[in-house]
Chain A
Amino acid sequence: MGATHLPSTEFDGTELDDQLEAQAEAALGVPPTEMVQLLGPDGTLGTHSVFSEYVERLDAEKLRGFYADMAAIRRFDQEATALQRQGQLALWVPLTGQEAAQIGSGRASQPQDYIFPTYREHGVALTRNVDLAELLKQFRGVSNGGWNPKDTNFHLYTLVLAAQTPHAVGYAMGIQRDQRLAEAQGVEGSAEPKAAVMVYFGDGASSEGDVHESMVFASSYNAPVVFFCQNNHWAISVPTAVQTRIPLSNRAKGYGFPGIRVDGNDVIAVHAVTEWALEHARQGNGPVLIEAFTYRVGAHTTADDPTKYRESSEEALWREKDPLDRLEKYLRAEGMADEAFFAKVAAEGDELAAYIRKSTYASDAPDIRTAFANTYVEAHPLVAEELAWFEEYSAGFAGGDEGEGAGR
């Protein structure tokens, strides 16, 4: 049976193909498989037919801010790793190498946007003003969350790979409905700024069915969502080649929306591309997939050993593409930052580390009564019965002292 026998009522495959190709090219100015890079490893800034316009929005202060953020989160990462080695954290998920992907994209979001991270987005958390000490609570084993997402529109970390991706699409579908409700109620150009959702996941998670289902839903409903895939090349010990045979950004085409591959170690390019994508989504043009091509320089978590699964020469090669080094070169070359600035950033990093250390030591176990309280929203007889038993049981140990120390 040839193609001529297939039903022709849906759409002409070739036409759609061309349309998507054109759409992607129009956005990128180049074929979609090419990687957008603005700031090279040598610290020189190139141009791009579409994204240079976004670079023009960046002034020296913003660029210095990018650097300060990247340096702060790298320092935080070092401190958290040290805290894990000291036994203060059960586990740590290092981000070193991915600072540009996270700071560049996070800084492109606006307060009304909602962000769904996976579990390595410490840099994005920083850009959303999450208290980083709260972020460590999960890794210390004193909370399964740690912060209130409603305060910053930065959702909790999700450990089940890709499970947050359909949440993001559903949230984006909610944004669409909010806008339509506001329009129906005659709220002219509603006071609320238009919002989008950004969801982070890795190259490993891209193999999960939830990513596929999310992209189908996002496309079907034209939801305002940006899928931000940090391709850091290793899903614990399994290389990207086992997850995909094509650039991950190309997959977007199969769903019918633009995919962009960007140099994930180039904070300027990541910022430009993400700003474009979020604006695209907010304006009602539907989803975008960004693949940030980057590298996890350290271990997947403090529990694994990269020397068992990859060559150190590979790490060395990527260290040469370091996101901080290249921005530092650029800032110095352009006279946007001097020695005093870098010294100040370093000092602030030490202050942050001291704060993190102190807060972590002080971060103590919760009372198990909070777990009883938060299992359900509404009263639940089984929880009440078990709590009553627990109270009586605890009281027996404490000599009538109201179960002091219970649950510790």
Chain B
Amino acid sequence: MTTMTIAKAINEGLRATLSHNPKSLLMGEDIGPLGGVYRVTDGLIGEFGPDRVVDTPLAESGIIGTAIGLALRGYLPVAEIQFDGFVFPGFNQITTQLAKMHSRSNGNLTVPVVIRIPYGGGIGSIEHHSESPEALFAHTPGLRIITPSNPHDAYWMIQQAVNCQDPVIVFEPKRRYWLKGEVDTESAGSAEDPFKANVVREGTDATVVVYGPLVPVALAAANAAAEDGRSIEVIDLRSISPIDFDAIEASVKKTGRLVVAHEAPTFGGIGGEIAARISERAFLSLEAPVIRVGGFHMPYPVAKIEEDYLPDIDRILEALDRTFAY
């Protein structure tokens, strides 16, 4: 067990990947000598050279598109998009090409590309640097989407993403890059299936489903609720596509109440999908409607008011109050 930050854990995960698999390579803007704007690739170009850690031209479509070509040639590219809001110039390549190459080739071609995207708000940044576009990709068949919330997951999930034969987008919660935690780098057995959810806090009265940056928020809300005598179960989704509905269903059948929270706008978001599925699967177990907590239907607001936008402990507690009101 070693203690490290999420940023360091991803760095170590990438280092392990580059060491173990000569066909893996990293590509993106400023990931070389600078080590990425969040220093996630710090030191890797020195160890592995510019063929394995490729500083690319400033061109997101080019980055994703050439990653697809490299994957077609048998390579395992890990492409970094510098910030969430900059993925859109590459959106066409991701949704019309990357997601569909296996299907349109009738299974003959595989494109095991990994795309890393720092996402989410709460860092006081400027426009296009705080968005949560995960639902736009989750809606696209052919992609897998995961998001770690702690260093141990971050270390293992990036490696598992590279080993997955399908394209995987890893949304990295940028405001948690400096969150420290224990990482078991020794035992491969300690790595959970990256597409399974984790129950990170057990409870009996209500379930809160969250992922990525909101996991610590939900845990704090659950602790606060405990002071009022409410036992809240918290599920860290980990995978946004596919979603581990079995884990959520099992929890709801125990607690009878469900709150889903994410930073992305509520409308059309992952929370709505979870609410609908759980209503189908466990309607008779629900004591109350599924309550969603999310961002408002507006472009991510300016930093000075982002605290009003982001779901926080109080917003989750308010949602719990509403579910207990039934």
Partner of A217, one of B22, B62, B195: B62
Q: Quick check: is A328 within 8 A (CB to CB) of the other chain?
A: no
Q: For residue A148, which residues in chain B have a CB less than 8 angstroms away from its CB?
A: 105-106, 108
Partner of B69, one of A168, A374, A380: A168
Is the Cβ of B105 less than 8 Å from the Cβ of A166? no
In this complex, the member of B70, B93, B241 whose beta carbon has the largest number of chain A beta carbons within 10 angstroms is B70
Partner of B96, one of A160, A214, A220: A160
**How many Å from the CB of A134 to the closest CB on chain B?**
10
Q: Quick check: is A216 within 8 A (CB to CB) of the other chain?
A: yes
Q: Quick check: is A55 within 8 A (CB to CB) of the other chain?
A: no
Contact with A along B55-78 (1 / 0, CB 8 A): 011010110111111111111010
- CB-based nearest B residue for A180: B51
Is the Cβ of A375 less than 8 Å from the Cβ of B103? yes
Contact with B along A132-146 (1 / 0, CB 8 A): 000000000001111
Partner of A170, one of B72, B92, B100, B165: B72
Q: For residue B59, which residues in chain A have a CB less than 8 angstroms away from its CB?
A: 213, 216-217
Is the Cβ of A173 less than 8 Å from the Cβ of B66? yes
Check A375/B61 contact, CB under 8 A, given A170-B72, A381-B242: no
Q: For residue A371, which residues in chain B have a CB less than 8 angstroms away from its CB?
A: 103
Is the Cβ of B62 less than 8 Å from the Cβ of A171? no
Q: Quick check: is B184 within 8 A (CB to CB) of the other chain?
A: no
Partner of B62, one of A145, A166, A380: A166
Is the Cβ of A220 less than 8 Å from the Cβ of B57? yes
Partner of B56, one of A150, A165, A217, A376: A217
Q: For residue A150, which residues in chain B have a CB less than 8 angstroms away from its CB?
A: 108-109
Partner of A216, one of B62, B70, B72, B97: B62
Partner of A144, one of B69, B89, B103: B103
Is the Cβ of A214 less than 8 Å from the Cβ of B62? yes
Is the Cβ of B66 less than 8 Å from the Cβ of A166? yes
Q: For residue B92, which residues in chain A have a CB less than 8 angstroms away from its CB?
A: 160, 163, 210
- CB-based nearest A residue for B64: A166
Is the Cβ of B65 less than 8 Å from the Cβ of A375? no
Is the Cβ of A171 less than 8 Å from the Cβ of B70? yes
The CA-CA distance from A145 to B101 in the complex, in Å, is 9
Q: For residue A358, which residues in chain B have a CB less than 8 angstroms away from its CB?
A: none
Q: For residue B166, which residues in chain A have a CB less than 8 angstroms away from its CB?
A: 376-378
Contact with B along A157-192 (1 / 0, CB 8 A): 010100101111111111101101100000000000
Q: Quick check: is B164 within 8 A (CB to CB) of the other chain?
A: yes
Partner of A181, one of B22, B104, B165: B22
The CA-CA distance from A174 to B61 in the complex, in Å, is 18
Q: Quick check: is B294 within 8 A (CB to CB) of the other chain?
A: no
Partner of B105, one of A145, A167, A174, A382: A145
Q: Quick check: is B15 within 8 A (CB to CB) of the other chain?
A: no
Q: For residue A213, which residues in chain B have a CB less than 8 angstroms away from its CB?
A: 57, 59, 61-62, 65
**How many Å from the CB of B147 to the closest CB on chain A?**
17
Q: Quick check: is B213 within 8 A (CB to CB) of the other chain?
A: no
Q: For residue B165, which residues in chain A have a CB less than 8 angstroms away from its CB?
A: 377-378
Partner of A380, one of B68, B242, B245: B242
The CA-CA distance from A159 to B218 in the complex, in Å, is 45
Check A217/B51 contact, CB under 8 A, given A144-B104, A170-B67, A373-B107: no
Q: For residue A214, which residues in chain B have a CB less than 8 angstroms away from its CB?
A: 62, 65-66
The CA-CA distance from A175 to B66 in the complex, in Å, is 12
Partner of A173, one of B70, B102, B103: B70
The CA-CA distance from A155 to B69 in the complex, in Å, is 11
**How many Å from the CB of B63 to the closest CB on chain A?**
8
**How many Å from the CB of B45 to the closest CB on chain A?**
15
- CB-based nearest B residue for A221: B54
Q: For residue B104, which residues in chain A have a CB less than 8 angstroms away from its CB?
A: 144-145, 156
The CA-CA distance from A378 to B93 in the complex, in Å, is 21
The CA-CA distance from A174 to B72 in the complex, in Å, is 9
Contact with B along A189-218 (1 / 0, CB 8 A): 000000000000000000001100110110
In this complex, the member of A146, A173, A378 whose beta carbon has the largest number of chain B beta carbons within 10 angstroms is A173
Is the Cβ of A170 less than 8 Å from the Cβ of B73? yes
Q: For residue B133, which residues in chain A have a CB less than 8 angstroms away from its CB?
A: none
The CA-CA distance from A42 to B267 in the complex, in Å, is 67
The CA-CA distance from A382 to B69 in the complex, in Å, is 28
Q: Quick check: is A149 within 8 A (CB to CB) of the other chain?
A: yes
**How many Å from the CB of A267 to the closest CB on chain B?**
29
**How many Å from the CB of B97 to the closest CB on chain A?**
5
Check A149/B108 contact, CB under 8 A, given A175-B73, A213-B57: yes
Q: For residue A114, which residues in chain B have a CB less than 8 angstroms away from its CB?
A: 73
In this complex, the member of B70, B73, B164, B241 whose beta carbon has the largest number of chain A beta carbons within 10 angstroms is B73
- Given A114-B73, A174-B70, 12 extra CB contacts under 8 A: A145-B106, A145-B108, A146-B106, A156-B104, A156-B109, A163-B65, A166-B69, A173-B69, A174-B73, A213-B59, A376-B142, A378-B165
A-B contact pairs, 10 of them (CB 8 A): A150-B108, A158-B97, A171-B72, A173-B69, A174-B69, A180-B51, A213-B57, A220-B56, A375-B102, A380-B242
Chain A residues with CB under 8 Å of chain B are 114, 143-146, 148-150, 155-156, 158, 160, 163, 165-175, 177-178, 180-181, 209-210, 213-214, 216-217, 220, 370-371, 373-378, 380-382
Chain B residues with CB under 8 Å of chain A are 22, 25, 51, 56-57, 59, 61-62, 64-75, 77, 89, 92-93, 96-97, 100, 102-110, 112, 141-142, 144, 164-166, 195, 241-246
